[in-house]
Amino acid sequence: MKKKIIENIKTLFYALLIALIIRSLLFQPFYIPSSSMEPNLLVGDRLFVSKYSYGYSKHSFPFSPNIFNKRIFSSKPQRGDIIVFKTPADNRTDYIKRLIGIPGDKIQIIDGFLYLNEQKIKRNKIDHLKTIYCGNEIMSVDAYEEELPNGTKYLAVYRKDFTMKKTDKFIVPNDYYFFMGDNRDCSKDSRFLGSVGYVKFENLVGKARTIFFSNDKNIGNIYKFWKWKDSIRTKRFFKNIK
């Protein structure tokens, strides 16, 4: 009996060790709790983030142990990547946003248009998308397919009746990055220097890769199995993230 208990403990230990290695070095699941990345990521999406995409820092591991001074095996992110990062405010809270500016970039919103290095970002209006969530509110929006200089295209939405018309010019410092939510008027991101601001390279956790599960909490949470037929978004299962 004692031998069996010891064997079970060993099995559990090895299982936990393998799970920790996978979570820290390969892939980690994340849940989308807010509307800041709609229409591309919805509240209730569950996705995998690749931990190896930009190398490893202390934030690659649970509880961010102080084991590295800088990133190791590092690789630079690209404009347009959707990235999970630790907020500079507490180095603990996970945010997910789209990378818009890399070190040295100049970013500004002028008359509701996004400018990168003094050049207006290309965009084409999308007519079929008229409304979107911001928390529990449904707001009317103008939707655009924006294209960054490296060719990355994505959907971004701007509130019809109130959008950020003009900002100061943001100049991204060395070793820092500038992030924005695709739901531009429903996102706390690098435009707000007092709460998020520029994000240090060390704070990047990983690149969003694939949605593996999605549930519309406005219809029913995951525990209300009798509502699964209506609440589970099967069309989003195993959808690659762009």
The catalytic residues are 36, 97
Q: Report residue 214 as tokens.
A: 């999605």
Distance CA 189, CA 178 (A): 8
In sequence order, what E strands does 117-203 have? 119-120, 122-126, 131-134, 137-147, 153-159, 170-171, 176-180, 199-200
Asked if residues 184 and 194 have their Cβ atoms less than 8 Å apart, the reply is no
Rounded to the nearest 10°, the torsion over CA 138, 183, 109, 170 is 140
Distance CA 215, CA 234 (A): 9
> Largest alpha-carbon pair distance within the chain?
74
For residue 176, give every residue at least 6 positions away whose Cβ sits within 8 Å of its Cβ, in sequence order, or none: 103, 198, 199, 200, 201
Name the residue among 132, 163, 111, 123 with its Cα closest to residue 37.
132
